[in-house]
């Protein structure tokens, strides 16, 4: 499904797939299920970069690493609201991070603004997020 959607974007850089055991390990470590669309995406491509090198969707290992980092960083705890209910999976290349809310589980995509600590809805689903990011020509389409 995802590869067919991304054929419309020749500059999109897809990667090899991730096996379900890796995704199960990530879910177990984070204590949250991956959103269904993100899981299906990673089973087809281990991340997605745009023509500018921005990681629209991170690799499975980066999803794990960065979420653990955000949740465990003492400085972040003193500066920002908790990140435990979020699952970050992409960024804009300038500090803003994209995430799903996992408690309660939601399918919409939110952006976390690193300067204001705001968390705003930007897309109703992963597909719309991916399309918007790839159509943006490197601009912050979500503002």
pLDDT digits (tens, 9 = 90+) for 26-53: 999 999 999 999 999 999 999 999 988 8
CATH class assigned to 2-135: alpha beta
Checking if the pLDDT of 139 tops 80, the result is: no
Question: Among 45-49, 127-131, 136-140, which is the least confidently predicted range?
Answer: 136-140
Comparing CA positions, the residue from 87, 88, 86, 98 lying closest to residue 140 is: 98
CA-CA distance, 8 to 134, in Å (whole number)?
Answer: 10
Over the stretch 63-95, which tens digit does the pLDDT of each residue have? 999 999 999 999 999 999 999 999 999 999 899
Q: Classify residue 13 by burial, with Cβ atoms within 10 Å: 0-12, 13-18, 19+.
A: middle
Query: What is the structure's pLDDT at 118?
Result: 97
Q: Considering the entire predicted model, what is its pTM?
A: 0.94
Strands 48-49 and 86-91: unpaired
3-class state of residue 99 by DSSP: strand
Checking if the pLDDT of 116 tops 80, the result is: yes
Which of the four pLDDT bands, split at 50, 70 and 90, describes residue 11? confident
Contacting residues for 11 by C-beta, under 8 A, at least 6 apart: 50, 51, 134
């Amino acid at each position: 499904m995802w590869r067919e959607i991304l054929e419309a974007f020749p500059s999109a850089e897809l990667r090899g797939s991730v096996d379900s055991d890796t995704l199960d390990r990530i879910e177990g470590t984070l204590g949250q299920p991956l959103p269904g669309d993100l899981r299906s995406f990673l089973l087809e491509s281990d991340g997605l970069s745009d023509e500018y090198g921005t990681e629209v969707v991170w690799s499975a290992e980066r999803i794990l690493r960065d979420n653990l980092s955000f949740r465990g960083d003492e400085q972040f705890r003193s500066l920002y609201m908790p990140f435990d209910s979020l699952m970050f999976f992409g960024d804009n290349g300038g500090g803003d991070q994209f995430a799903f809310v996992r408690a309660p589980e939601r399918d919409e995509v939110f952006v976390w603004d690193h300067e204001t600590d705001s968390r705003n809805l930007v897309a109703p689903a992963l597909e719309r997020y991916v399309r918007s990011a790839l159509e943006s020509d490197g601009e912050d389409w979500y503002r």
